[in-house]
Chain A
Amino acid sequence: MEEQLKIDFEKLLEKSNFSKKNIEIKRKNFNNFIEKGFPNKREENWKFSDLNQIISKNIKNLSFYNDLSKPNKIDQSTFIAGLEHNKLIFVNGRIEKIEFDYEEKNNIEILDDLVLEKPNNANNSLLFLNNAFVSKFFKLIVKKNYSLKKPLVIYNITNKDLVSKSVNLKFDILLEENSSLKLIEFSNDKSTTNFININYNFDVQKNSILKNYKIDNNSNSNIKYYFNNISQDTNSVSEIFLLSSGSEFIKNEINCNLNGKYASAFVNGVFLLNGSKHHEIKTNINHLVENTKSYQLIKSVLEDESKAVYQGKIFVDSKAQKTDGYQLSKAILLNENTEFNAKPELEIYADDVKCSHGSSSGSLNEDSIFYLMSRGLNYKEAKKLLINGFLLDVVEKITDSEIKNLIKNIMSLKQ
């Protein structure tokens, strides 16, 4: 693979028009990646999901150069219907459309010619890979006191032309003081066996609100990694909802730093898996100052041979008195070969805090099924009803009612 990487990297530099500064940074990142490679289970963070093995098992002849010179056709049928929204459309990793029809143009800015950051000390090899191979790095700025009137949907569409490629995307999103954004990330994949690596950096400033809904619902054979870095200032709110269901493998990593007093973070997620799918959510919520709050709720329903992993960590700095941190994960295993792994972790250095976590996993309650059947439902209906009830509770946490309804529709939870 190393040979391929080197060839593809040089090809990328040759065909693109990067600044000197960016080339230098890309080389550093590239060398770091070559040194570390894909993460494997010997790393604590990847203990339950050996990415190196998953990639070599699922992807034959992975290549890292992606020709973005020609535009791709946008399949309009993938658009979300019944919801007025702004669009950022990527097809096979290429930006095809930027459309903010509903917004005041002077209150929004999009930059795409940015200097990359130097290799960070986080030692995350997938970020090295991302920085080395990403072709355009976008930044969206929402100006002070502006709230987007309609949600922004980032479409990540892949079609059957994309096979065994490594796709890297990178976004920075800055919410200036008193601003707000509802962001839906919507994936639609018809491609096969690609490795898609997406890096988001959210900077949520004073009194701002970020709502981020990530929807991955149609079945596909891609391997995906998301790294979401969120930095929150005083009195800001972030709300993340994940529907993790469609791709063969997804690991969603969320690193959230609560840097300002009264900042709060909510992470809610649903794993709905079948076949041999293997999904993971890993969170690091860092309470760094007084009076911050975090809440995490993750529910999984697992069928066939699927596997779900939840690694959730709450860190409380010694300065972060009056922290309120809560974490709960629940899983229903429907088949003999399913597997649920959890590592709910607390690391606490302040004494005046309220932190708790809970985790449970097991089968559907047979007594409840029996009760429903005695009221006339058949086994399948009874099971469906119970599972929907189990999941609905997470979806109900979504604070935007329009998007809540959309997600209920997508998950066929409408009652």
Chain B
Amino acid sequence: MREKQIDKLKDYKYGFTTDIENIRAPKGLNKEVIEFISKAKKEPKWMLDWRMKAFERLKNLKEPNWQKPKYPKIDYQDIYYYSAPKSTSEKPKNIDELDPKLLETYKKLGIPLQEQQRLNGIAVDAVFDSVSVATTFKDKLNEVGVIFCSISEAIQKHPELVKKYIGSVIPLTDHYFATLNSAVFTDGSFVYIPPGVRCPMELSTYFRINASQTGQFERTLIIADKGSYVSYLEGCTAPMRDENQLHAANVELVALDDAEIKYSTVQNWYPGDEDGKGGIYNFVTKRGLCKGINSKISWTQVETGSAITWKYPSCILQGDNSIGEFYSIAITNNHQKADTGTKMIHLGKNTKSKIISKGISAGFSDMTYRGLVDISSKAKNSTNYTQCDSLLMGNKCGAHTVPYIKNKNPESNIAHEATTSKISEEQLHYCQQRGLNPEEAVGLIVNGFCKEVLQQLPMEFAVEAQKLVGISLEGSVG
């Protein structure tokens, strides 16, 4: 049989850099830098105090070391904690005043910000390095009372809401990276949906790391008041660099009585090159609190990028009858490493949770599903269903499943299933006999494997995600 030439080089089409003048805080982690950030954001004193409290606490914390992917020691004094395009030092009043270079960048990423080109039915908050540069459809959302703006703006304009909820789901003292974020967070999105409102469009944040040697510490806070509904999406990309960059975000969700939040992520940070050089360290803390009765939080994630991904979007099911869901596709190729999963903490009565995780590892990569289901003794009549499936491609990679299951309630039921398999020669042969080349065949079969999760994504993103699944595995067959 003829040898097939397969281009092993993975094409990361978001790898470009935007040449733009920055304002940066001096390198390093110290009081002055935190003051610098707070001042640049024109924050009130209570916010600075809160940051300082986190910074004090940080001194007593150690980086966690139980996760499977190990990483070289990070020198926290060798990172820029704040970097913003100079042109945004005064946030432009409207998008047409925005630096054309920024507009061009987002256009290239497929997220046009200008009025006439906006994505239909999706409002976008664009975060570039440490600042939110633009938020679209703000006025339209205002009409129904939805607040969608950068967290920096929210701190100034809606301090009562921010004060009440920030740190209420992820405490200031939670763990090293969450506390680090609390001290130095720069920007992110803020969403408030008033009682009874069904948000009329998808809200979305597009995160872009551009500057080198810069960490991104975004903070997102979403509050769905009684009886409201919101669907929120985030996308992430970064230029190709041969250094490792740190992205340590905190995302907090609060759902009050009868409210529902659907949070979707398509994470495509630069994964490093074929030999594992460079790439983003994606250490993210995401947690949702189903505070009210009948509330629901649903996480969907497609994780294809980053050198190391380490995240566990979780649900605390506090309100009776509340529901938590986690749908995940994680793909690692070349030398990528991922340790991801969820925690479902059942506290209220009649709470339900569902976990569907699909992990695919190829090349020399390593993938771990790690999850916790904890049903407390008070969570009567609660249920969890977990399904974790892994697909391995080749025998240089690893796939691991590490679920922790704790049941303290006799009236509750937990069911967990996991499988590990590979794409069979027969399936490949069948597809090829119908005219598909091996890469198309693998793409098709893998998309089938992931279908249950892909279905959860909003239409526009599902198509994008399907393509991403195929691209991420390029060079892994042949």
Contacts and interface: CB of A to CB of B under 8 A. Distances in A.
Q: Do chains A and B touch in the complex (CB under 8 A)?
A: yes
Given A318-B395, A348-B398, 13 more contacts: A331-B407, A333-B407, A339-B406, A341-B407, A342-B405, A348-B392, A351-B392, A351-B393, A351-B394, A356-B417, A356-B419, A357-B401, A363-B411
A361 B407 contact: yes
A350 B403 contact: no
Contacts of A61: none
Contacts of B408: 338-339
- Which among B390, B395, B412, B416 has the greatest number of chain A C-beta atoms within 10 A? B395
B422 interface: yes
Interface string A97-121: 0000000000000000000000000
Nearest to B416: A359
Contacts of B406: 339-341
Given A321-B395, A360-B415, A355 B403 contact: no
A384 interface: no
A381 B33 CA distance: 71
B410 A333 contact: yes
Interface in A331-373: 331, 333-363
Contact of B401 (A341, A345, A350): A345
Pick the most buried of A341, A356, A361: most chain B CB atoms within 10 A of its CB. A361
In order of increasing CB-CB distance, the 8 nearest A-B pairs are: A362-B413, A333-B410, A351-B392, A342-B405, A346-B401, A359-B416, A351-B422, A355-B420
Interface residues of A, number: 35
Contacts of A353: 392, 420-422
26 contacts: A333-B409, A336-B377, A338-B408, A339-B406, A339-B407, A341-B405, A341-B406, A341-B407, A343-B404, A344-B405, A346-B390, A346-B400, A346-B418, A348-B390, A348-B398, A351-B394, A351-B395, A351-B422, A352-B395, A358-B415, A358-B416, A358-B417, A361-B405, A361-B407, A363-B410, A363-B412
B403 A344 contact: yes
A360 B416 contact: yes
Nearest to A339: B408
A345 B400 contact: yes
B414 interface: yes
Where chain A touches its partner, the secondary structure class is strand
B410 A349 contact: no
A35 interface: no
A334 B407 CA distance: 12
Interface of B: 66, 377, 390, 392-422
Interface centre among B401, B403, B413, B421 (most CB of A within 10 A): B401
A44 B68 CA distance: 13
A369 to B, nearest CB: 14
A346 B405 contact: no
A379 B39 CA distance: 70
B405 A343 contact: yes
A36 B392 CA distance: 38
Contacts of B410: 333-336, 338, 362-363
A50 B98 CA distance: 59
B51 to A, nearest CB: 31
Contacts of B377: 336-337
Contacts of A357: 401, 416-418
Nearest to B404: A343
Contacts of A342: 403-405, 416
A348 B411 CA distance: 34
A349 B365 CA distance: 10
A361 B418 CA distance: 15
B478 to A, nearest CB: 15
Given A344-B418, A358-B417, A360-B414, A350 B407 contact: no
A339 B407 CA distance: 6
Contacts of A362: 407, 410-414
Which among B407, B409, B412 has the highest number of chain A CB atoms within 10 Å?
B407
A348 B400 CA distance: 6
A332 to B, nearest CB: 8
A344 B416 contact: yes
Contacts of A348: 390, 392, 398-400, 420
Nearest to A345: B402
Nearest to B367: A348
Contacts of A351: 392-395, 397, 422
